[in-house]
Structure 1
Amino acid sequence: MAKSNILFIINPISGGKDKSNIPDLINARLDHSKFNASYRFTSYAGHAAEIVDETASMNFEVIVAVGGDGTINEVGAKVMAQQKVLGIIPYGSGNGLARFLKIPMSPRKAIEVINLYQVSKIDTATFNGKPYFNMAGMGFDAHISSIFANNKKRGFSGYLKTGLKEMINYKPESYRIVVDGNSYTRKAFVVSIANSSQYGNNAHISPLASVSDGLLDICIVKNFPLYKIPALAYFMLRAKTHQTEMVEIIKGKQIQIFREREGAIHIDGEPFLMGKEINVSIRPLSLAVIVSGHI
């Protein structure tokens, strides 16, 4: 049986964790009867995507993102375009997509998942033309992402501290949201368009989301008084946001969002600045991913 060529693209700064030993760990754990392994470290934002392009003619059947959701986004967009297979070793701050796909947070166990080589196709989406795989949106979470991107103390505790500090002064915005031709006007704290169920760290915004149903979940976190923050956190961490009136979830395929002004958005946790009109659409079963069990 012929071996598959596999490339590991390693983001050295994702999640604030040292990864200098990752090639040695992979060499020790990878099934070398199945794979010929190569390694590349990224040096700057956008480098992972460049590496996939540079190696397009080198016959890598599998390309593994070693990092967080942002690294997966860079690598996955190119893997999808080249119709190859994406692997994931979670090493980010939240690891939302990896958690949803049941990929272990332990690098050793994640390598074992790669060895099993169970491939499934998942839905992806575009946000004003930019591909994403886990979560995108606007409002308070995008505001926090734009601040958090410059915070050296990445991780759940840093995100929580920044969020609590900023929440006091954040003002909800008005949105007109068109889902498959149906129009909704809402004043919202957050508007997230979920492919998977969670942001990361097991904080679920849309517990019933699926990456294989051909639908996106538009999650509208309504304006709420600050004293309800613990309740919202409870529902998210218990994967019960679909049971609270604080969150409205609408499923659809084609979404247009109109807001009052341009501002921050996030795509798989990475911040961007975009205009007043946002167009989102689903791309059913468009990315092949190594997964752990049934998704």
Structure 2
Amino acid sequence: MQKEHPQKLLFVINPVSGGKGKEDWEQFIREYFREHTHQMEFFLLTGADDSVSILHHVETIKPDKVVAVGGDGTVKLVAELLKGSAYTLGVLPAGSANGMAKEMGLPLDRTEALEVILYGEQKAIDVIAINEQEICIHLADMGLNAMLVKYFDESPGRGMWGYGRSVLKMLWNKRVIRAQLQTDQGTINRRAYMIVLANARMYGTGVTINPKGDLQDGKFEIVIVRSLNFLAILKVLTSKGKFPDEHIEVHSISDLKLKTRHKAYFQVDGEYRGRLKEVHARIVPHCLNVMLPKTGDV
């Protein structure tokens, strides 16, 4: 039995994550803490000035931990508010993919995830600052995958059918990007189908794009997908393998100025950001405190 130290916890709940209702998650959390001495507060996302409201709650309550209950979008929303502060982020995976939770080695079982939030190990992870406007915890990219994110967001059908239609539309409309990449390691000129800014290793689908990914190494990788035929793309998108080594080029860097000849699709942590010609990215080391499993627990 672990010794109990009363903690003040603020749960930020996305009521639609993973198709689950808000009553299910709040009820489960309350039931779990029934015999604990911790203080709980709840905030339900509404989509209207959520960031301002969450900050108000954080400043008023001054919690020991702020727990994002949702998918990657919810985790990113809370992380944006906590970066560079002394507050600690906890994650209760409640989305459909939970790519960030998987990358951090967090259990997807909700009881086990709550155990990590209470008794895990606090660690400071890196993030990538994108255009000095937002952070990327996981993966940002320009090209094919960003196009797929856009098409899937616009798709009238969800699930595998919606994803399949989006993949076919992406393959039909794919374009080569002509880019200049100015990094702290030198300048690179490339033609590519996709350029990934990778703090992490894999997408939420399980596809490994950056085997070198490490959230605490003070670096991020640019992964340049220079060539990929139709069958290779289809295999990668429908499996949990990794991009073939012969099709990619990887560089570990800390700063990047990316310029393209024509505007290209761009996404950050699964959120489409439009068509851009320039992106500035830089690593921000150890700026986000996160509750992770203790070494040896996973």
Scaled by the length of structure 1, the TM-score of the pair is: 0.89
Paired position in structure 2 for 1:50? 52
Deviation at 1:44, TM superposition (A): 1.2
1:169 maps to amino acid: N
Consecutive unaligned residues of structure 2, counting only runs of 5 or more, are none
Distance 1:84 1:93 in 2: 26
Q: Which amino acid aligns with 1:53?
A: L
The match for 1:35 is: 38
Deviations 1:243-280 (A, max 9, x none): 61112111100011101233431111111125311100
Cα offsets for 1:209-259 (capped at 9, x unmatched): 10011010111112322122245448x723x44x61112111100011101
SS of 1:20's equivalent?
helix
Instruction: Write the distance in 1 (CA, Å) between the matches of 2:121 and 2:47.
Output: 31
Structure 1 unmatched runs, 5+? none
Which residue matches 2:123?
120
C-alpha deviation, 1:159, in angstroms: 3.1
Instruction: Assess if the C-alpha contact under 8 Å between 1:6 and 1:63 holds in 2.
Output: yes
Does the CA contact (< 8 Å) of 2:177 and 2:264 recur in 1? Answer: no
Q: For residues 165-211 of structure 1, give each alpha carbon's deviation from its aligned partner in whole angstroms, at most 9, with x where no partner exists.
A: 32122112111112214111111111111111112132211122100
**Deviation digits for residues 43-74 of structure 1 (CA, Å, limit 9, x no counterpart):** 11762x22321112321121111111121111
- AA aligned opposite 2:191: K
Q: Does 1:273 align with 2:277?
A: no
1:83 aligns with 2:80: no
Q: Distance in 2 between matches of 1:152 and 1:5?
A: 41
2:46 alignment partner, SS class: coil
Conserved? CA contact 2:266–2:276, under 8 Å: no
| Offset of residue 6 of structure 1 | 0.7
Query: Within the alignment, does 1:209 sit opposite 2:213 as a pair?
Result: yes
1:96-152 CA-to-partner distances (Å, cap 9, x unmatched) read 210011111222221122121321111111111111211112111111212222346
Instruction: Report the counterpart of residue 133 of structure 1 in structure 2.
Output: 137
Question: Would the alpha carbon gap of residues 120 and 34 (structure 1) be closer, same or farther in structure 2, given more than 3 Å must change?
Answer: farther
CA distance in structure 2 between the partners assigned to 1:263 and 1:195 by the alignment: 21
Give aligned-pair identity as a percent.
26
What residue in structure 1 maps to residue 68 of structure 2?
65
Matched positions, count: 291
Alpha-carbon distance in 1 for matches of 2:275, 2:232 = 30
2:158 is aligned with 1:150: no
- The equivalent of 2:105 in structure 1 is 102
Please, which moves more after superposition, 220-229 or 252-261? Answer: 220-229
Looking at structure 2, the residues matched to 257 and 14 of structure 1 have their Cα atoms a distance apart, in angstroms, of 33
Structure 2 CA distance for partners of 1:33 and 1:65, relative to 1, 3 Å: same
Q: Tell me which residue corresponds to 1:165.
A: 169
Aligned equivalent of 1:20? 23
Residues 43 and 166 from structure 1, CA distance in 2 versus in 1: closer, same or farther, beyond 3 angstroms?
A: same
CA distance in structure 2 between the aligned counterparts of 1:169 and 1:91, rounded to whole angstroms: 33
Alpha-carbon distance change, 153 to 111 in structure 1, aligned in 2, over 3 angstroms: farther
Query: Please, which moves more after superposition, 223-232 or 197-206?
Result: 223-232
- Measured on the aligned residues, the alpha-carbon RMSD in Å equals 2.3
Runs (4+) of structure 1 moved beyond 6 Å? none
Equivalent residue for 1:293?
294
